Chains A and B, each alone.
Chain A
Amino acid sequence: MAAVMWIEVLSRHGEVAARERIETDVARIGRAFDNDVVVDDPHVAPHHLRISRGEDGELVAEDLGTMNGLYAEHGAHRLPRLPLAKEPGIRIGRTILRVHDALHAVAPEKLLTPPRAHARWALGLGVALAASLVGLEWLNTTQEPTANAILLPVLGLVTVLALWTGVWALISRIFMGQARFSLQVRIALTACIALVIWDQLSEVLSFSFAWRAISEYAGLGAWALLAATCWAHLRGIGPKHMRMAMGLVVALICAGAALQLLGKSETQKLIGQRATLGDLRPPEFRLAPLASADDFFKKAALAKVKVDQARAKEPGSGGLFGDDSVD
């Protein structure tokens, strides 16, 4: 039977500041120097805590009759006794301790990303992104193509990417002590490629199915993608306070998406839909079956129902075109 236990004193930032190997069955903790573990915290009693093994061999913490008492690490209630088998964390005064049995199971070894793997990925993704952007730019050129027109958007994106990854690397450096720049670049490039694919896909589908709502609401997908990107960056930085950070990011992104939707619906109220065929693709991209003229005019009749309903409502005031502009 292993009698060894480990007591860890955590720093204010939550890292292990000191770790004591205790080979006896009982350990004493407090501010006094005759303890097994000495804690420098004015809110801790000279003899604060006793750790011992219960009858079943499990570790138990006991309050030795102190002013400030004993709490579970995340607990709000003062306890006279605290079994440590499941939750090894203890709070005394302002100090967090963790007590582990030598048999305490630890997480399995994590696979290390091979050295320079992120950098190699980032390079590959970067080349793919640049190539697809140049390619798309070329497909969108209707005038005589100039290097300027094609490369400028790529350059713009590179600048934005550099700033974006720089900020994440800085955050990572502050909270993790490591910038992990190539990981941030890899995440950002993956997100860009996903965004390009989403953008193209929504435009193509909007054309293929003659469904303008797809392109009108494609922005929501982009916001979701932004949320996923932030999540990936945060995970790269470390899982600590992940939930809170993610909650914040999701809230911000929801607010952004909501604002965009609201703005869109207000613009719609002012001007309605535009008389345009939308973003066209070659005819081979059509996926929707051909409608008969009767079907098409049935759809048109639905538009009539809508505008007839709109007649009854007051028009929105103010906005893009002044209050009551003339045709």
Chain B
Amino acid sequence: MLRLGLLIAALISSTSFASAQPAAPPGPLSTAAERVYELAKPRILQIRSLLQSTGRQSSLGSGFLVTPEGFAITNYHVVSQYALDPKTYRLEFLAPDGSKGGLALLAFDVAHDLAVVKVDRKDLPFFEFDPRALHDNLPKGERIYAMGNPLDLGFTIVEGTYNGLVDKSYDERIHFSGAINPGMSGGPVAGGDGRIVGVNVAKRLDGENVGFLVPAKFAAELIARARSGPPLVVDKAREEVGRQLNGWQASFYNTLRDQGFRSSSFGPYRGLESAAPWMTCWGSTNADAIPKPRTSVNSTRCSSATGIFVSDRILTGRVDLSYSYFKSVDLNAFQFSKELSQRSWGFDALGNKRLTEQECRDDFVAGGTGSRPPLRATWCMRAYREFEGLYNVTLLALTQDRDREALLAQLSMQGVSYANAEALGRKFLEAIQWQQ
């Protein structure tokens, strides 16, 4: 797959960012954009992944200089091919003035989709971060400018609106109302004074002009880490990716636990539901189906909507929790169990060889004390071949106390450690109860 990403530089002012002084009211819009672009021009880069063997580009993105020693910020996904396979790929930058040069990968942050690269030149002009952005202190509605090279058509500046952080999202992302297109990934987004507010990262395909930026504070943190931390050994970058994914899931499942759970009712049963605001739930029913269904089905599916891009082949980091309450309308017990057999399929992504083949274990699990029904449960898991200690896990459970009604519950976790998967799995099974 060819990934296009073009870096657009935001306007930078190399003078100090005395933020006590409110930014001068922008002039007519076109003037502001012109000025931002003029400032950005020597500070933005196109970042290319090239095949070592042929020197052809295999992916393009954008980046921007942020320190005098030539450190530039881009997206992790712009350099992921090189990070995971430095023997096959190399990195190169292209500046708007046509100059080219090599790039060294210094650090990356897979979870926030950021990377730091260093250009082999010194004393270049660079962007500064907007101190207001570092403290999430920008007013909604402020005009900001995204830059990059969309679809490899040439460097572009796009006016848009800062719309605060995205609601109901585990990852902090700035909602940018403006057109972001492939190729602009890793490009800077600056305010009217040319200081960095965020980094282009993604857009929604099912909406118009709904773009997302990585907040500038994460870029600033990563730069600090790149300066002070031990240097990245590129040949060991894959292990670093594994460490970061492990770290990410550890803090994600901690947060999930800290946010708490509640017991929700599904027909006469109860099941686990996360209280985290970023677990979004959707319901569905077959009540209005024609012809009238012989089994009524009411389903709820809650998803964390977290997705971590590791490589073209690996997207991970998601949790799904779904419940379907089945009640026979006029099926007998055998027909009803047949209906359940046809519905009890987990969402397993087969054939991805970055994961091992799936292993499953089945059993009848006692409900234990209280009002817990016995369960028929299946645990299935696959391991990530490239990252030790990470798994995709699917846990299915079906209540076994009635023969013409049942709750089918499913928990699926991507990129989770075994300990976290088991802990949440136990909680999930215990929470399946009969309505008091």
> Are A and B associated in one complex?
yes
Give A268-286 as 1s and 0s: 1 = Cβ < 8 Å from B's Cβ atoms. 1111111111111111101
CB contact between A326 and one of B352, B364, B377, B396 (< 8 Å): that residue: B352
B396 contacts across to A, CB distance below 8 A: 275-277
Let me know if B383 and A307 touch, CB within 8 A: yes
The answer to the question of B368 belonging to the interface, with a C-beta cut-off of 8 Å to chain A, is yes
Say whether, besides A282-B403, A293-B429, A304-B381, A319 and B351 are in contact (CB < 8 Å).
Answer: yes
Query: B310-347 toward A: CB 8 Å interface, digit per residue (1/0)?
Result: 00111100000000000000011111111111101111
Give the interface residue-count category, chain B.
35 or more
- Asked if A290 and B357 make an inter-chain contact with CB atoms under 8 angstroms apart, the answer reads no
Chain A residues contacting B357 (CB-CB under 8 Å) are 268-273, 307, 310, 315
Residues A290 and B374 in contact, CB atoms below 8 Å apart: yes
Q: A306 — which chain B residues lie within 8 A by C-beta?
A: 359
Stretch in contact with the other chain, from A12-20, A59-67, A141-149: A141-149
A199 to chain B, nearest CB (A): 14
Quick one: given A315-B385, A319-B351, are A274 and B333 in contact (CB under 8 Å)?
A: no
A277–B363 CA distance with the chains assembled, in angstroms? 10
B269 contacts the other chain (Cβ, under 8 Å)? no
B243 lies within 8 A of chain A by Cβ? no
| Complex contact B341–A283 (CB within 8 A) | no
B359 touches A273 (CB 8 A): yes
Binary CB contact string for chain A from 232 to 259 against chain B (1 if under 8 A, 0 otherwise):
0000000000000000000000000000
The yes or no answer to B120 lying at the interface (CB within 8 A) is no
Q: Cβ of B341 and Cβ of A278 under 8 Å apart?
A: yes
The answer to the question of B402 belonging to the interface, with a C-beta cut-off of 8 Å to chain A, is: yes
A interface: dominant SS? loop
- Is there a chain B Cβ closer than 8 Å to A295's Cβ? yes
Nearest Cβ on chain A to B362's Cβ, whole angstroms: 4
List chain B residues, Cβ under 8 A from A310. 356-357, 359, 383
* Bound CA–CA A326/B1 (angstroms): 11
The answer to whether A275 touches B394, judged by C-beta atoms less than 8 angstroms apart, is yes
Q: Say yes or no for A139: interface residue by CB 8 A criterion.
A: yes
Contacts of A307 in B (CB 8 A): 356-359, 381-383, 391
* Contact between chains at B422 and A297 (CB < 8 Å): yes
- Contact indicator B385/A277 (Cβ below 8 Å): no
Q: How large is the interface on A (under 10, 10 to 19, 20 to 34, 35 or more residues)?
A: 35 or more
Whole-angstrom CA separation of A211 from B354 in the bound complex: 28
B226: Cβ under 8 A from any A Cβ: no
CB distance from B283 to the nearest CB of A (A): 22
Q: Which residues of chain B are within 8 angstroms of A77 by Cβ–Cβ distance?
A: none
Nearest CB of chain A from residue B337's CB, rounded to whole Å: 4
Asked if B351 and A275 make an inter-chain contact with CB atoms under 8 angstroms apart, the answer reads: no
Q: Are the CB atoms of A277 and B351 closer together than 8 Å?
A: no
Q: How far is the CA of A327 from the CA of B344 in the complex (A)?
A: 20
Q: Is B376 interfacial (CB-CB < 8 Å)?
A: yes
Partner of A325, one of B352, B361, B376: B352
Contact indicator B362/A304 (Cβ below 8 Å): no
| Chain B residue nearest to A140 in the complex (CB) | B338
- Tell me whether B135 is interfacial, beta carbon within 8 Å: no
Tell whether A296 pairs with B365 under 8 Å between CB atoms, given A280-B376, A280-B398.
yes
Q: What separation, in Å, do the CA atoms of A139 and B321 have in the docked complex? A: 31
- When distances are taken between beta carbons in the complex, the residues of chain B under 8 Å from A144 are 291, 294
Q: Is the beta-carbon distance between B362 and A212 smaller than 8 angstroms?
A: yes
On whether the beta carbons of B356 and A142 are closer than 8 Å, the reply is: no
Judge whether A3 is part of the interface by a CB distance below 8 angstroms.
no
Residues on the A chain within 8 Å of B224, using CB = none
- Say whether, besides A139-B335, A283-B401, A322-B351, A308 and B383 are in contact (CB < 8 Å): yes
**Which A residues lie within 8 Å of B349 (CB)?**
327
Residue of B nearest to A300 (CB): B379
Q: How far is the CA of A299 from the CA of B315 in the complex (A)?
A: 28
Instruction: Please provide the chain B residues from 74 to 133 with a CB less than 8 Å away from any CB of chain A in the complex.
Output: none
Interface string of A284-320 (1 = CB under 8 A from B): 1010111111011101111110111011000110011
Given A272-B356, A282-B337, A283-B403, CB of A293 within 8 Å of CB of B368: yes
Indicate if A210 sits at the interface (CB-CB under 8 A): yes
Task: Please indicate which of the listed interface residues B342, B349, B376, B388 has the most CB atoms of chain A within 10 Å of its own CB.
Answer: B376
Partner of A271, one of B350, B398, B403: B350
B235 within 8 A of A: no
Bound-state Cα–Cα, A268 to B347, Å: 17
The docked-state distance in angstroms from the alpha carbon of A316 to that of B355 is 11
Q: Give the distance to chain B from A275, nearest Cβ to Cβ, in Å.
A: 3
CB of A270 within 8 A of CB of B430, answer: no
Across-interface contacts of A322 in B (CB, < 8 A): 351
| CB atoms of A315 and B353 under 8 A apart | yes
From the candidates A141, A273, A276, name the one contacting B345 in the complex (CB within 8 A).
A276
Interchain residue pairs A-B with the least CB separation, the first 10: A321-B351, A272-B357, A275-B346, A272-B358, A290-B366, A310-B356, A277-B344, A327-B349, A282-B333, A307-B383
8 more A-B residue pairs beyond the given contacts A142-B342, A284-B403, A310-B383, with a C-beta to C-beta distance below 8 A:
A212-B362, A273-B357, A275-B358, A283-B403, A286-B364, A307-B359, A320-B351, A324-B352
Q: Which of B's residues lie within 8 Å of A, judged by CB? A: 291, 294-295, 312-315, 331-342, 344-354, 356-368, 374, 376-385, 388, 391, 394, 396, 398, 400-403, 418, 422, 425-426, 429-430
A-B contact pairs, 24 of them (CB 8 A): A139-B334, A142-B335, A143-B294, A210-B363, A210-B364, A271-B351, A272-B356, A272-B359, A272-B360, A273-B380, A274-B360, A275-B396, A277-B341, A277-B344, A277-B376, A280-B338, A280-B376, A282-B403, A296-B365, A299-B379, A311-B385, A315-B353, A322-B351, A325-B352
CB within 8 Å of B: which residues of A? 139-144, 210-212, 268-284, 286, 288-293, 295-297, 299-304, 306-308, 310-311, 315-316, 319-327
